[in-house]
A and B are shown apart, each in its own frame.
Chain A
Amino acid sequence: MRKTAWDPKTVAERGLGLGAVVVALLGPVIFSAYFTSTVLTQTFIFGIAAASLIFLSAYGGMISLAQTALMGIAGYVIGNLVTKGGAGGETKGLVLGWDPTLALVLALVITTAVGLILGAVASRSFGIYFLMLTLTFGVIANYFFGQVTKLGGFSPIAGINQYTPPFVGDILGHPDKLYYIALGTSLVVYVVMRYLVRTPFGLSLQGLRDEPVRLGSLGYNVPLHRTLAFGFAAFVAALAGVLLVWWDGQIAPQNLGLGATIDLLIIAVIGGLGRLEGAWLGAFAFIVINNYVRDIQFPFASEKGVLPWVGGSFNTVIGVVFLVIVLVSPDGLMGIWNRMWDAVRRRGGPSQGVETREPAAEAGT
């Protein structure tokens, strides 16, 4: 059985993963400041958020479109608690000026609690119903923060990242600090998720993903398992939300909006909804496109927008890319990677690869 862990595909994946981590650890040394502080830091943050979505989808069979809203809730808790009012201070929100460490803890606790409530409401809906329901939660949260002027209202709460806990320190002057925090959180989230799916809880979660009725008949509390999984994903989304307000410095209803929700879904779908690694891969692809393709001047671009003839903004480009990915490879880049290896095997690749495939599938559960 030990051999099954070392088939060529796994070796390649582990090698690439390790290489990526090493490169990421040396990131500030290798890359320009813009690339690390903008592209890579954002990749880690949205990777964590997308990982919470992919965790639910890959192991729980739940596509949640509420993750962006949960991120935003964490951001709003921090924004309302830490900012200080008064002369020259922030005017939006509650401006309580509390201790940032306390605010951090409260943001995680409150968001997880909200996630547990939403999870409890949605726990008996499956498949596409679950997606619709969580999308509804997300849009309601967006309108909630847009309307409730006490908690910020329509315009953003700004200047949040001046107030960070002492163990985080000054992230405005030292952006690499946030880079390493985001990287470290990404690694911890990944490892914890990989560990969690091997625990009895994770195994029963995967069981009820495939056979909810059977697991229910065997005495498993299906809604409870799904609620807890959703609560855990809410906690992870809260981590991403906290990192995002530290990175961006502000939180606004648009951070929870339909556009942001769809962006996170696009990240998860580009990466692949079936595998956790896809989260960071998808986030990297999306943010690179977002940062660099935006500036490309297309030939024949009309005055109406970036694209030749049709006009429109960058969203049309993203929409078309998303459409093509969904049509061509619904399981995203990780799906393309998996199919590439399948093709190699079929073409008479390393023969032990074919042999180890069956036991690998068994051991992989």
Chain B
Amino acid sequence: MKASPDVGTFAGSVAERIRAWGVVGTVPRAIVAGLIVFAALFIVVIANPPDENGVGSWRTTNNGSAIDDPGSFVANLLDAATLAGWLFIVASGFSLIFGLMRVVNMAHGAFYVLGGYVAYEVQQRMTADTPGFIPGELVNTWEWLVPMAVAMICIGALGLVVQQGFLRWNQGQDLRQALITIAIAVIIADQVTAHFPRSGAFQVGGGNLATITWPGWTERRIDLHLAGVNYSLTRLVILALGLAVGVLLWLWLHRTRTGVIIRAGVDDRQMTSALGINIQRTFAIGFVVGSSLAAVGGTVGASQGGVTSGQDGLWLLYSLIVVIVGGMGSLLGAAAGSVLVALVLTFSASYLPSTGNPAGIECCTQYSITFTFVLIALVLAFRPQGLFGKAA
């Protein structure tokens, strides 16, 4: 293609692109870009806080714009970051299993819920005088980490049983494996409802909600000296945990022999095993690690608002969205997907107009779930394999 005279400049490269796309390619892209710019503008300058009478316009949101109300904006940004860490913990396990074995583990959400309950039972046994809610000052770091570790081991072992007992001899039949994990998810979800929580539940919203208590030292707000925000330390702990999981996974995959084998297995399973490497052992390790990450996520979830037996679908949904957006089987993709999904979830819940109702339930914040679909549609329209996925 002949280089245009102003090649190299931004305007030149844009002009080049538009010529390459033609009208059919350019118009939808322009509309999408315009909508994204509008959404950003809405958050940054257009949004208005509700006035005292509760009367609002299309500009009314629960928070003001980022310019008027930087505190809320920063708090929302931190909410998104910490949610991203939480999503990453769960979805990276899902993505690891998928990338390595092409298994869509539909039981990942059920593993999450079961992991949360196991951790809850262990913490109850370790700490509580009477079964039920434990005040934060009675729990030290140790009494939070051990339940998590036990949950990781239990769910990891369960994952190993599922992988060895049901999935190993169906390798390569990805649909059948997905159906098998769906059946297992149905059974686990039902058994969890029947048997958990064992020690008297901390009943808030009815049902079988179980809440793990964070270590006492995290239950405070710290002053960030940034736009006057006091932010919850527990949420920052979640972010730190997410980052730690990311760093450890990266080191494991890139700096250890097992990790190198796993990455080789992701790229070319048959070649790896032809080199005399026991790929079955690697698969088992991958499945155990991926499942135990669901348990870490479940422990965090049980600490952050509690775990109930309906959450398996929600966390399966989150895992699916994160890997669809980020790309399958890529650590970077899981991280990018988590950040994008968390941003969309957080900001659509906070910055959609809440016209005329100070409680913000009338319109339009309740439509926030639609934006996750918009995110998926946008990413898939331009990159069907996800942001960091390899072409199929």
Interface residues of A (CB under 8 A from B): 63, 121-122, 124-129, 131-133, 135-137, 139-140, 142-144, 147-150, 257-258, 262, 265, 269, 304-305, 310-313, 315-316, 318-320, 322-323, 326-327, 330
Contacts and interface: CB of A to CB of B under 8 A. Distances in A.
A131 B320 CA distance: 10
B376 A136 contact: yes
B184 interface: yes
A319 B192 CA distance: 13
Nearest to A126: B392
A133 B186 contact: no
Given A262-B186, A326-B176, A128 B191 contact: no
Given A269-B179, A316-B187, A322-B186, 18 more contacts: A63-B175, A121-B376, A127-B174, A127-B175, A131-B104, A135-B320, A140-B369, A143-B314, A147-B367, A258-B313, A305-B194, A311-B194, A312-B193, A316-B190, A319-B183, A323-B184, A326-B179, A327-B180
Contact of A322 (B183, B323, B366): B183
Nearest to B190: A315
16 contacts: A124-B384, A128-B104, A131-B104, A132-B104, A136-B376, A139-B314, A140-B372, A143-B369, A148-B367, A149-B361, A257-B313, A305-B194, A310-B191, A316-B187, A330-B173, A330-B179
B166 interface: yes
Contacts of B381: 121
A320 B184 CA distance: 8
Contacts of A121: 376-377, 380-381
Contacts of B250: none
B335 to A, nearest CB: 19
B174 A322 contact: no
B262 interface: no
A310 B187 CA distance: 11
A323 B187 contact: yes
B182 interface: yes
B248 interface: no
B194 A313 contact: yes
Contacts of A125: 380, 384
- The 5 A-B pairs at the shortest CB distance, nearest first, are namely A319-B186, A323-B183, A319-B187, A258-B313, A315-B190
Given A129-B392, A136-B321, A258-B313, A316 B191 contact: yes
Contacts of B176: 326, 330
A126 B186 CA distance: 25
B25 to A, nearest CB: 15
Nearest to B176: A330
Which secondary structure characterizes the binding site on chain A?
A: helix
B392 A304 contact: no
Nearest to A153: B366
B194 A131 contact: no
Contact of B313 (A126, A139, A320, A330): A139
Contacts of A126: 392
B180 A311 contact: no
Contact of A326 (B180, B195, B314): B180
A15 B195 CA distance: 49
A355 to B, nearest CB: 32
A149 B317 contact: no
Interface centre among B183, B316, B367 (most CB of A within 10 A): B183
A305 B166 CA distance: 26
A319 B367 CA distance: 33
Interface string B355-392: 00000010100111110110011001100100000001
A144 B184 CA distance: 26
Contacts of A127: 174-175
Contacts of A320: 183, 187
Contact of A128 (B102, B314, B366): B102
A14 to B, nearest CB: 30
Contacts of B285: none
Contact of A148 (B190, B366, B373): B366
A60 B361 CA distance: 42
B194 A304 contact: yes
Nearest to A121: B377
Contacts of B316: 135, 139, 258
Contacts of A305: 194
A322 B180 CA distance: 8
B190 A312 contact: yes
Contacts of B313: 139, 142, 257-258
A323 B188 CA distance: 12
A93 to B, nearest CB: 14
Given A121-B381, A265-B182, A313 B372 contact: no
A202 to B, nearest CB: 22
B90 to A, nearest CB: 15
B174 A128 contact: yes
Nearest to A263: B186
A132 B328 CA distance: 11
Contacts of B184: 319, 323
Interface string B150-191: 000000000000000010000001111011101110110111
Contacts of B175: 63, 127-128, 131
A133 B376 CA distance: 9
A305 B187 CA distance: 13
A150 B357 CA distance: 14
B301 to A, nearest CB: 17
A257 B363 CA distance: 23
A140 B187 contact: no
Interface string B332-351: 00000000000000000000
Contact of B317 (A122, A136, A312): A136
A131 B178 contact: yes
Contacts of A311: 191, 194-195
Contacts of B377: 121
Nearest to B173: A330
Interface in B93-151: 102, 104
